[in-house]
Amino acid sequence: MSIPTITGSARVSGLRPSTIRAMAVGAPGDTIDLGLGVPGWDLPEPARRALSECASTPGPLGYGPNEGLPELVTAIAAHHGLPGVNGDAGESARRVMVTSGAQAALYAVFQAHVSPGQRVLVSDPGFPAYGTLAALAGGEPVRYRLGPCGELDPAEFARALEETDGVALAVLNHPGNPTGGGASREALTAVATAARAAGVLLLSDEVYREVHLGRRPLSLHDVTESGVVVSSASKGWAAPGLRVGWAVGDPDLLAPARLVHNSMTTAAAIPGQRAAAALLRHSPDVLRDTRRQLIARWSVAQTAPEPVRARYTPAGGFYLWLPLPEWALADPLAHCRRVRDEGRVVVVPGTAFGPGGAGHVRVSCGGDPKALAEGLTRMAPFWERP
């Protein structure tokens, strides 16, 4: 599998297509894809009704306001528990930025708050888009290590912050992709304190917060009013195709990011916004079903053949962060290609998520449970012998 070189401006020329998606390229026809992290269950009924009503309503379908539909903004503010200042509902609205997916929210914040030559702290292992977004803003990503189970380690964060000059932005991801690691109240508080003292903006990616088996994970905004929190309808509400996300934070921090988003995409699509608003309004039922779906899939991972069985329950998300067998450590990508080509299962090498992921592969448990069970069964021989 060759990854083509991209030409263009200096900021783009060094970029490469995502290894996560590239792993499926050239796979045999009957391959089971356990690579992409997407919910594999039905779009919830409230979203289907909203989309149907939108399609059946006569009249034009306009762009919608840059700031998002009021019904969606209100639903996001309510979900995040944003009180109006002195009863001012408009103040809550100014603390919400509706975007075309969480990725657009991340892009807009990076572009608004990172200048060329500045540094961005990103987790290792972590979602590879963070480094790409830093480069697109002209910045430089600097990795900080996570704990042994992928949890936020405030000492490692503080060390990276102290040893790195010119940090403008630091990204948290909890529960994390790819590890599922979480963040304790103490860790979040320590990190928020360190970032505030250094004058560094914290950007907390919490798209997996509602995808959990145990206690609901904390938000950055549970410990501090500073920083920006990003989420979306894609994971917890099982609607990635709506392409609706949002950022929540101080209006002064969001204002320049809004200008970036407006210039980039005008506004999120109206049908998607209406469907997302319906999902948020029905969050108790929708999120309860998400957890039922997750339990069904995680039960498969916990009862898989011994070599590929889940050893611990993550704080959130639907990823099995699976240690590689000893003989595969020298070339994880080659091992994953062999699993794909001979075993007919797509998984993602941990090296796609940074040096800290070198000893693991990421297995998505979000799809069909039967396919997951079959995929893990096919994988097991590749963990049992060279």
Summarize pLDDT for 60-89 with one digit per residue, the tens. Answer: 999 989 999 999 999 999 999 997 644 565
The CATH superfamily label for domain 10-43+284-384 reads Aspartate Aminotransferase, domain 1 (3.90.1150.10)
Q: Give the distance from CA 353 to its chain's centroid.
A: 12
Of residues 20 and 94, the one with the higher pLDDT is: 94
Does the bond joining 332 to the residue before it have cis omega, within 30 degrees of 0? no
* Token reading at 49: 């009704």
Listed in order, the ranges of the chain carrying CATH 3.90.1150.10 are 10-43+284-384
**pLDDT at residue 4 is higher than 60:** no
Token pair 């998300």 is at which residue? 317
The pLDDT value recorded for residue 2 is 47
pLDDT digits 0-9 by tens, 170-183: 999 999 999 999 99
Listed in order, the ranges of the chain carrying CATH 3.40.640.10 are 59-281
Q: What is the domain class of 59-281 according to CATH? A: alpha beta
The pLDDT value recorded for residue 90 is 76
- Contact between residue 247 and residue 113 where contact means Cβ atoms under 8 Å apart: no
The pLDDT value recorded for residue 95 is 96
pLDDT band at 21 (very low <50, low <70, confident <90, very high): confident
* Complete edge-to-edge strand list for the sheet that includes strand 96-99: 96-99, 245-248, 228-232, 201-205, 167-173, 119-124, 140-145
Q: Which amino acid is at 142?
A: V
CA dist 173 and 215 (Å) reads 17
pLDDT band at 129 (very low <50, low <70, confident <90, very high): very high
pLDDT digits 0-9 by tens, 258-302: 999 999 999 999 999 999 999 999 999 999 999 999 999 999 999
Cα–Cα nearest to 282, from 49, 38, 53, 39:
49
